[in-house]
Amino acid sequence: MTLSSTTNSYAETTHFQRSLKRLSQEVLRMGALVERSFRLSHQALFARDLEVAQQIKPLDKQIDRYYRQIERDCATLMTLQRPVAQDLRLLSAFMHLVRDLERIGDYAEDLTELAVKLFPYPPHSCLGEIEAMSNQAQMMLASSLVALAELDAKAGQTVKVMDDTVDLAYDRVYNTLALTRDFQGVVEPILLLGLTIRHLERMADHATNIGQRVSYIVTGQR
């Protein structure tokens, strides 16, 4: 079963089915946009490419627009069409899921701002590990979005396991940063890196939420 096949399983497509299909498309489109934002923030942080800071702002505005519109459409469909069973779960999951996506987009924008502030300082030794964290979080987001497209109930579990890796990396980098001794110069780079790993960890959490909401759509269990 896939996202679009749930919406065209009936012989005759009703107005509701069509609206639902359009809505799923909007959610996927928003997902693609958030993924792009995340990629740009990664580029800003690790390739030190500050041009992307200019590109990410309009992206974030667009993401916000999608978020508001999808939420409104979901509410309209719920009140006017009174969906049941899986359709209802799909709609309520969409409402939560776009919130998660929107948060990831916001964090991505914040990350580029951190990248701009970090730019003047020499690269820190744990940047490699943070990059791995960012890659892992992007992978989780991609997996969750594929799971959503495929309506794969098992993906929630897989993404959860991946989240544990990010959490572990977070603890490790946190300890490295916190226990730095005899530190020369200003503490700003350390602070910024602390915020960066915190943001990445939150992004991974939101990606996990998306994966679990997909499981909820299919099974009704949370």
Partner 1 sequence: MDFLILIVGLGIGLGISLVFHYRQRQQLTKILEIAANGPAENASFSVVSRLRREIARSRTIQTELELESEVLQQALAIAPIGYLRVDAENQLMTCNPVARQLLCIDRWHPNRLRLLLELVRSYELDRTIEKARQSQQVQIEDWIFETTPLAPISGNHHTLPLRATCIPLPQAQVGVFLEDRSAITELTQARDRAFSDIMHELRTPLTSISLVAEMLQSRLSGQEKSWVERLSQETNRLIDLIQNCLEISRLQKNPKQYLKYEEIDIKSFLLGIWQTLEPLAKQKEIQLNYVGVDDFSFWGDNSRLSQVFLNIFDNSIKYSPVQGEIRIEVQHQENRPLSDTDPLPWQTSENSWIIIDVIDSGCGFCVEDLPHVFERLYRGDPSRTRQTLTENPDPGFSNHNSSGLGLAIAQQIIYAHGGTISAQNHPTTQGAWLNIRLPNIIYS
User: Among candidates 141, 164, 163, 165, which has minimal Cα distance to 214?
Assistant: 141
Token digits for 140?
A: 């989780």
Token digits for 179?
A: 């226990």
| Residues counted in the chain | 222
Rounded Cα gap, residues 168 and 107, in angstroms: 20
Site string for partner 1, 143-182 (x = CB under 8 A): x-xx--xx-------x------------------------
Contact between 3 and partner 1 by CB under 8 A: the answer reads: yes
Of 33 and 210, nearer to partner 1 (C-beta) is 33
Site string for partner 1, 11-50 (x = CB under 8 A): -------x--xx-xx--xx-xxx-xx--x-----------
User: Kindly report the CA angle at 173 between 205 and 154, in degrees rounded to 5?
Assistant: 30
Q: Whole-number minimum distance, CB 183 to partner 1, in Å?
A: 30
Q: Whole-number minimum distance, CB 184 to partner 1, in Å?
A: 28
Site string for partner 1, 45-84 (x = CB under 8 A): ------x--xx--x--------------------------
Ramachandran quadrant class, 48 (left: phi over 0; alpha: psi -120 to 50; beta: rest): left
| Torsion, CA 216, CA 157, CA 142, CA 4, rounded to 10 | -30
Contact between 8 and partner 1 by CB under 8 A: the answer reads: yes
Rounded Cα gap, residues 59 and 43, in angstroms: 15
Contact residues toward partner 1 (CB under 8 A) are 2-5, 8, 18, 21-22, 24-25, 28-29, 31-33, 35-36, 39, 51, 54-55, 58, 136, 138-139, 141-143, 145-146, 149-150, 158
